């Protein structure tokens, strides 16, 4: 049994390796010196930032009104910024998180033409389902309004009460008709449930039917209780949880069941691409993975990956590993863990051919979002 499985596995691995090898031969890049930004060149296609966060005042007012009985409170920090406190987690929101007009000016300075707006921590999963639905609707309506006011600058990603999949499906069907909404935003886990949980199948099926990409983002990462110090909850927890989400989607059969579903991983895929060899070995030797018909690496190109890695060498390796056609620009705007100049970061990779930089900077995202 194991010998036959090993032969089948190696056959699949060889096919995947040949594909990656062919990609690598076409893209023999080295890391370019990046001491100073290169001048931004004219681009034939819009520059699209797929990882940018927005907190509408309407959403915050609803949290302020209905959150306190659930232990969720708004406040102010010493900078005068709005804070949202959920349990032992606090997110601080600068004016840039809230104001659309100043955001447009900032995008101009970054060289970004279009942002995909999304709601980040704490999303809406902390609320009971009826309130989660109200919160999701408040965000979706306000996000659509921002897209309507600036149709050439913004696209919107829908937030859903995933803690109640039936309610989530109804809101997805409603929000998909709102102007400017073009994708779904989901946490890497939903109140501790991995994304291969069968309850979420109706959402994935609907996204595939709509032709909508699914963008993931960590909210409550695994092991958070051990990462309270040094901001490790974000620094390490976020990429760890992204890796768990991607592996769950692969090993749980979601990627096979929905072959046309496009999924975008944040933070350059977190641990998923970095540990793909370990995952492949597990498929080969572990009985828990005997159901797998091909190695985990065969799914690398089923995902897209944003560019938030903060290290040119890591981005160069990701280009080699998955191909420039599977990468999309991200900034994490306006959080401090993002890029101040996301376009410049990619333009510094001078050994990446100009055509591939165009893919990363906007063409891939424009195809996913149909803009």
Domain-located, residue 87: no
121-171 pLDDT, tens digit each: 999 999 999 999 999 999 999 999 999 999 999 999 999 999 999 999 999
For tokens 């900032």, name the residue: 106
pLDDT at 3 over 50: no
Domain-located, residue 143: yes
> Taking a C-beta distance cutoff of 8 angstroms, is the pair 147, 118 a contact?
no
53-108 pLDDT, tens digit each: 999 999 999 999 999 999 999 999 999 999 999 988 899 999 999 999 999 999 99
State the number of CA atoms in the 13 A half-sphere of 267 facing the CB: 21
- How far is the C-alpha of 268 from the C-alpha of 330, rounded, in Å? 9
Domain-located, residue 90: no
Domain-located, residue 153: yes
Domain count, the chain: 1
Residue that wins the pLDDT comparison between 249 and 39: 249
- How far is the C-alpha of 315 from the C-alpha of 346, rounded, in Å? 9
Q: Which domain holds residue 201?
A: 2-26+45-69+95-369
DSSP for 225-240, written as a single string: GG--STTHHHHTHHHH
- How far is the C-alpha of 51 from the C-alpha of 330, rounded, in Å? 5
Domain-located, residue 77: no
| Biggest alpha carbon–alpha carbon distance for the chain | 64
CATH of the domain at 222: 3.20.20.140
> Taking a C-beta distance cutoff of 8 angstroms, is the pair 234, 225 a contact?
no
- How far is the C-alpha of 224 from the C-alpha of 71, rounded, in Å? 19
What is the pTM (predicted TM-score) of this model? 0.89
Residue from 105, 110, 96 nearest 47 by CA: 110
Domain-located, residue 347: yes
- How far is the C-alpha of 237 from the C-alpha of 92, rounded, in Å? 18
For 165, list phi and psi in degrees, rounded to 5: -55, -35
């Amino acid at each position: 049994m194991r010998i036959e499985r090993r032969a089948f596995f190696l056959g699949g691995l060889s096919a995947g390796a040949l594909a990656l090898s062919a990609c690598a031969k076409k893209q023999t890049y080295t890391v370019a010196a990046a001491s100073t930004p290169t001048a931004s060149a004219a681009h034939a296609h819009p520059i699209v930032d797929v990882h940018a966060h927005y907190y509408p005042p309407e959403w915050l007012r609803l949290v302020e009104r209905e959150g306190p009985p659930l232990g969720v409170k708004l406040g102010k920090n010493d900078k005068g910024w709005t804070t949202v406190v959920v349990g032992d987690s606090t997110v601080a929101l600068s004016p840039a998180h809230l104001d659309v007009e100043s955001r447009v000016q900032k995008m101009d300075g970054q060289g970004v033409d279009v942002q995909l707006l999304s709601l980040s921590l704490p999303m809406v999963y902390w609320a009971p389902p009826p309130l989660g639905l109200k919160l999701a609707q408040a965000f979706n309506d306000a996000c659509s309004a921002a897209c309507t006011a600036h149709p050439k600058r913004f696209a919107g990603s829908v937030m859903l009460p995933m803690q109640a999949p039936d309610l989530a499906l109804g809101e997805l069907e409603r929000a998909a008709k709102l102007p400017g909404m073009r994708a779904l935003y989901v946490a890497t886990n939903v109140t501790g449930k991995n994304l291969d949980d069968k309850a979420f199948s109706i959402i994935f099926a609907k996204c595939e039917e709509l032709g909508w990409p699914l963008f993931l983002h960590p909210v409550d990462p695994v092991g958070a209780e051990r990462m309270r110090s040094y901001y490790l909850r974000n620094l390490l927890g976020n990429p760890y949880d992204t890796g768990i989400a991607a592996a769950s989607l692969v090993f749980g059969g979601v990627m096979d069941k929905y072959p046309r579903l496009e999924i975008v991983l944040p933070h350059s895929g977190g641990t998923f691409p970095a540990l793909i060899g370990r995952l492949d070995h597990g498929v080969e030797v572990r009985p828990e993975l005997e159901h797998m018909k091909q190695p985990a690496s065969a799914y690398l190109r089923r995902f897209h990956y944003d560019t938030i890695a903060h290290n040119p060498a890591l981005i160069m390796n990701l280009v080699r590993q998955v191909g420039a056609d599977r990468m999309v620009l991200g900034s994490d705007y306006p959080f401090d863990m993002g890029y101040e100049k996301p376009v410049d970061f990619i333009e510094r990779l001078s050994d990446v051919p100009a055509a591939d930089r165009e893919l990363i900077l906007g063409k891939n995202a424009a195809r996913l979002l149909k803009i």
